[in-house]
Structure 1
Amino acid sequence: MLNILRRDAAECERHTPLDGWTPPEGSIWIDLKNPTREEELAVERALGLDIPTREEMAAIEPSSRLYQENGATFMTATLLARSDEGPTPAPVTFVLTKSVLATIRYDDLRAFTVFADRAPAAHVGSGTAALMGLLDAIVERLADIIEDTAAHVQNASTTIFRQRQTSGGFQPLLTELARAQSVTSTTRNTLVSLGRMLSFAGLAQEIAGDPECQAHLRTVQADVQSLTEHSAYQATHIAFLLDAALGLINIEQNSIIKWFSVYAVIFLPPTLLASIWGMNFHHMPELDWRFGYPVALGLMVIAAVVPLWWFRKRGWL
């Protein structure tokens, strides 16, 4: 599917390229979302460029992701997709030419939708401006994700340290923290990928020759660097909370095991006494005692109370 933004258009237009297709006059952004092979070939013929395939976009070598060819700058970054359902890395290629920006992606990305809705009102007038606006939307989206994740992490932190939990009660918290860690990790990878892409974008002739675009690019780079540091701190915080939750679970389990051990020790002497007097020997002098039964019960109670008193005196309970 091709979504095309034209200069001064009221909204993005959807196109189905046929034989001999060319971009409409004034096109500044061509967004290829889940393109078919026919759509890729049509755009390649129209722009005179070789668009990377999905497999080439997934390559991690810098030479496959950042390069210049036939007067165009090719930049591939790994963005974050489906952050609400489950974070998924989504490679996206930006192709910047003198007249138009082309993007190739295979996932729904909210930042692209936001920019498509915002661009007509912002009067984006060139492919370079479209790239800058799209990068702004991507960085804003990542900032929102980090902020939302930070709120969940703070709630988990409050619950862990201010409420008494049982080992079973920690399960939802551990699940939430694991999800937050996954989102934060994927977000940080996205920011690192964007940082490499932005450094290379400064080499593009369309940006290098425009002081305003250079200043805009430096601002975006500073934002990405700031978010990268924040996501690194958040990942460390989540790791600490996971360790703290597991530590509290261990304390709770140790407390349970301690009580089982105490009860076993308390009832061991009475069990020993009951075992002795429960033996079936004929000559046992205690069998003829008038008060043998209450004495045996009393000894059992004393044998149970004395260890309990000793444990409390030693501070073990």
Structure 2
Amino acid sequence: MIKIILQAGQNGPVTGTRLEDLSELVTDEKSTVWVDVIDPTKEEIARIGKRFEFHPLALEDVERGGQRPKIDQYDGFQFIVFYGLTTELDRCRSHEVNIFVGKHFMVTFHDSHLAVITETAERWHTNVGAMGNRGVGFLLYSLLDALVDGYFPVLDDIAERADTLEETIILQGQPSLQAEILQLRRELLMIRRVAGPERDVMNVLVRRDPPLFGRKELAYFQDVYDHLLRITDSVDIYRDMLSSVLDANLSMVSYTLNIVVKRLTSSSIILMSMTLVAGIYGMNFVFMPELDWRLGYPFALGLMVIIALIEYRLFKRIGWL
């Protein structure tokens, strides 16, 4: 679906879904146009590309998806690949956002799972008087800042799940917890793969001073860059913490296994001693004094019990039982 989210000029905000409405807005230097394409089809990508004269290679990246975060400079516009994060069913999900930025326009392609883009548009509509006239550079900053700020709740959720796992491991280590720990590490690795290149993108926007933006916007992009630094640092910290949690879980599982093995070994030794007594008196020899003894049977049972009690006390003392 193609949606014209914002046009901030002399006429104020305009919202619509007609691509033809862009004819006058794009050429108006006093306007800032944001075209948002939700769940884009090949036809919609082609229509937008033709209208804005986007490079075929950039359109191919949008159509194929799965691109690494990057920024490419083309004649008249920049193509930026960024990612938003959401938490669905206790799992972290990444959503690709393709952004085309020109002198007076911004075009975004993304799926329908990113509510943060709609929220950003609503904030611009609400504050169009204060924010609308700042240009496309500030509009791009608002979008990137909203996407990056969405990483923090995801990291907080991962940290909370890691703390819960750590508490569970302290109480009792379980082999089943290892799969959950590895899942969290995979999610952190995914965030690291996204945030690292995005930091490079922001570094390009800040350090190279692109002609599409003025110096006033650079401070805002620096703020997003700083947020990404915090995110990558947090990811590294959480990964180290999960490595410690994984080691602790393996240690607890090994400790529990050792206890079980000790108890089984102790029980086996006790039973083997009793079996030894039973085996001796079960031999079919003619001359065995205890066979004709009236108290032979109680004596054998008593001997088994005494041996078992002695071994039980011994194993109890050394901590095997």
TM-score interval w.r.t. the shorter chain?
A: 0.7 to 0.9
Equivalence for 1:144: 153
**Counterpart among 290, 296, 301 of residue 300 in structure 2:** 296
Distance 1:188 1:114, change over 3 A: farther
SS of corresponding position for 1:279: coil
Equivalence for 1:223: 227
**Counterpart among 56, 59, 76 of residue 52 in structure 1:** 59
* 8 Å contact from structure 1 (residues 95, 102) kept in 2: yes
SS of corresponding position for 1:22: helix
Overall identity of the aligned pairs, in %: 25
Note the C-alpha offset of 1:304.
1.4
Distance 1:262 1:310, change over 3 A: same
> Is the deviation greater in 150-159 or in 131-140?
150-159
The separation in 1 between residues aligned to 2:118 and 2:198, in whole angstroms, is: 19
The separation in 2 between residues aligned to 1:303 and 1:187, in whole angstroms, is: 62
**Counterpart among 63, 66, 76 of residue 71 in structure 2:** 66
SS of corresponding position for 1:68: strand
The separation in 2 between residues aligned to 1:293 and 1:10, in whole angstroms, is: 106
Aligned residues: 305
Equivalence for 2:243: 239
* 8 Å contact from structure 2 (residues 290, 296) kept in 1: yes
* 8 Å contact from structure 2 (residues 6, 35) kept in 1: no
Distance 1:314 1:84, change over 3 A: closer
**Counterpart among 208, 211, 227 of residue 205 in structure 1:** 211
> Is the deviation greater in 37-46 or in 291-300?
37-46
**TM-score between both structures, scaled by the size of structure 2:** 0.84
The separation in 1 between residues aligned to 2:258 and 2:23, in whole angstroms, is: 69
Note the C-alpha offset of 1:246.
2.3
Report the AA paired with residue 15 of structure 1.
T
1:15 matched to 2:24? The reply is: no
Equivalence for 1:88: 93
Report the AA paired with residue 105 of structure 1.
H
1:306 matched to 2:310? The reply is: yes
> Is the deviation greater in 290-299 or in 173-182?
173-182
Q: Deviations over 1:41-95 (max 9, x none)?
A: 22122212124224554344x8xx4321112111213443555453334332221
Note the C-alpha offset of 1:27.
4.9
SS of corresponding position for 1:138: helix
Report the AA paired with residue 4 of structure 2.
I
* 8 Å contact from structure 1 (residues 5, 27) kept in 2: no
The separation in 2 between residues aligned to 1:79 and 1:90, in whole angstroms, is: 5
Equivalence for 2:3: 3
Distance 1:304 1:237, change over 3 A: same
The separation in 2 between residues aligned to 1:224 and 1:294, in whole angstroms, is: 80
1:187 matched to 2:191? The reply is: yes
**TM-score between both structures, scaled by the size of structure 1:** 0.85
SS of corresponding position for 2:22: coil
* 8 Å contact from structure 2 (residues 45, 63) kept in 1: no
SS of corresponding position for 1:90: strand
Note the C-alpha offset of 1:28.
2.0
The separation in 1 between residues aligned to 2:156 and 2:223, in whole angstroms, is: 20
Q: Deviations over 1:168-224 (max 9, x none)?
A: xx63x54543443333222222211311211222342122xx222011111111111
Distance 1:84 1:184, change over 3 A: farther
Note the C-alpha offset of 1:97.
0.4
* 8 Å contact from structure 1 (residues 80, 186) kept in 2: no
* 8 Å contact from structure 1 (residues 4, 27) kept in 2: no
Report the AA paired with residue 98 of structure 1.
K
1:99 matched to 2:99? The reply is: no
Q: Deviations over 1:215-265 (max 9, x none)?
A: 111111111101110111011111211221222122112111110110001
Distance 1:110 1:182, change over 3 A: farther
The separation in 2 between residues aligned to 1:81 and 1:12, in whole angstroms, is: 29
Distance 1:75 1:30, change over 3 A: same
* 8 Å contact from structure 2 (residues 81, 98) kept in 1: yes
1:39 matched to 2:44? The reply is: yes
Distance 1:312 1:12, change over 3 A: farther
The separation in 2 between residues aligned to 1:45 and 1:21, in whole angstroms, is: 15
Note the C-alpha offset of 1:134.
0.5
The separation in 2 between residues aligned to 1:260 and 1:113, in whole angstroms, is: 62
SS of corresponding position for 1:15: coil
The separation in 2 between residues aligned to 1:250 and 1:227, in whole angstroms, is: 34
The separation in 2 between residues aligned to 1:110 and 1:188, in whole angstroms, is: 22
Note the C-alpha offset of 1:11.
7.7
* 8 Å contact from structure 1 (residues 139, 224) kept in 2: yes
The separation in 1 between residues aligned to 2:72 and 2:2, in whole angstroms, is: 24
Distance 1:120 1:84, change over 3 A: farther
